[in-house]
Amino acid sequence: MASNSSKPGFCEGARTLPVKRVRAGQGLELMQDWVADEVPVALEYNGISHAVMLATPLDLEDFALGFSLSEGILSAAHELYGVEEEASELGITLHLRVAGEAFARLKERRRSMAGRTGCGLCGTESLGQVARNLPVLPGGQVLQREAISHAMAQFVDLQTLQQATGAVHAAAWCSADGEVQWLREDVGRHNALDKLIGALARHTVDASQGFIAVTSRASFEMVQKTAAAGVPLLAAVSAPTSFAVATATRANMTLVGFARQQDLVVYCHPERLALEHLSSAHHAH
């Protein structure tokens, strides 16, 4: 996505680079284009290096907290005492000071896990480590299906980094009526969700009273992180995987895919959505 007059003069989390553009097969244009930043971000707990993720260097305090919560290293936000950011030529190191109980859990985890990268489950050494115990989310609240389409419609205007670069995902927490209240962006879909979870925890938002919408597919890890945050519904613009559906089913989470304009597909626990005008079809999409 090359630059044009509608793009900002400054965009945090991106930089301009000289490019050569050909549009519609006509002519060659020399110009400046916005490119999303992507840097290695290392997370270090009480002096012990744990993970290195490739991420957009924005909202890193949210990222540190959200990653720690969604990965089960912290049981609550108060177990994080502080985050110090250290930049170098190699990337960024986040120095986290955590409570003794959290550090003990991390050391236990490290005894059975070789490491982790941004590709998903790299470093997981056994099948039993993949799916952690997740809370069974309570039922009760029923959302109107229009709330999801209303939330998705707001992404275009709220994704400033995506508007500039065309290279990032977003995760947003929305109120029950579909108003986007919190949104975070990152080159990695998991990172965007971790940043969102961290922001909700830092601001003591009762995340169970709304839902999360993401601009990506709904992978197993996206479902697991959402359930760990206590959010009862995840809506994705693209498809889920079978493992994601199975995980959401087990956690009593409503999983929605292909949420685009007025369309959506509910893969499990449809009782949380007011769905009308049902018709039978051989294929969902």
- The tens place of each residue's pLDDT in the chain, 285 residues long, gives 443 435 666 799 999 999 999 998 888 999 999 999 999 999 999 999 999 999 999 999 999 999 999 999 999 999 999 999 999 999 999 999 999 999 999 988 777 665 444 444 444 445 555 667 788 999 878 999 999 999 999 999 999 999 999 999 999 999 999 999 999 999 999 999 999 999 999 999 999 999 999 999 999 999 999 999 999 999 999 999 999 999 999 999 999 999 999 999 999 999 999 987 655 554 555
Rounded Cα distance between 71 and 102, Å, is: 11
| Amino acid 123: pLDDT | 42
Residue entry with tokens 């079978």 = 242
| Amino acid 152: pLDDT | 97
| Amino acid 120: pLDDT | 44
**Two tokens, residue 6:** 């509608």
Task: Give per-residue pLDDT as tens, 233-253.
Answer: 999 999 999 999 999 999 999
Reported as half-sphere exposure (CB side, CA atoms, 13 A), residue 127 has a value of 0
CATH architecture of the domain with range 143-274: 3-Layer(aba) Sandwich (3.40)
Phi (first) and psi of residue 246, to 5 degrees: -65, -40
- Do 48 and 60 meet the contact criterion of CB atoms below 8 Å apart? no
Summary mean pLDDT of the chain? 89
pTM: predicted TM-score of the whole model, two decimal places:
0.89
39, with CB counted inside 10 A (0-12, 13-18, 19+), is middle
Percent helix / strand / coil, the chain, rounded to 5: 30, 35, 35
- Do 253 and 244 meet the contact criterion of CB atoms below 8 Å apart? no
**Two tokens, residue 129:** 């480590």
> What contacts 283, CB < 8 A, 6 or more positions away?
none
Give the fold, CATH level 3, of 39-129: Ubiquitin-like (UB roll) (3.10.20)
As annotated, the active-site residues are: 119
Nearest to 201 by CA among 62, 16, 82: 62
| Amino acid 3: pLDDT | 39
> What contacts 98, CB < 8 A, 6 or more positions away?
45, 46, 68, 73, 74, 79, 80, 81, 106
Per DSSP bridges, beta strands 233-236 and 254-260 are parallel
Q: Where are the domains of the chain?
A: 39-129, 143-274
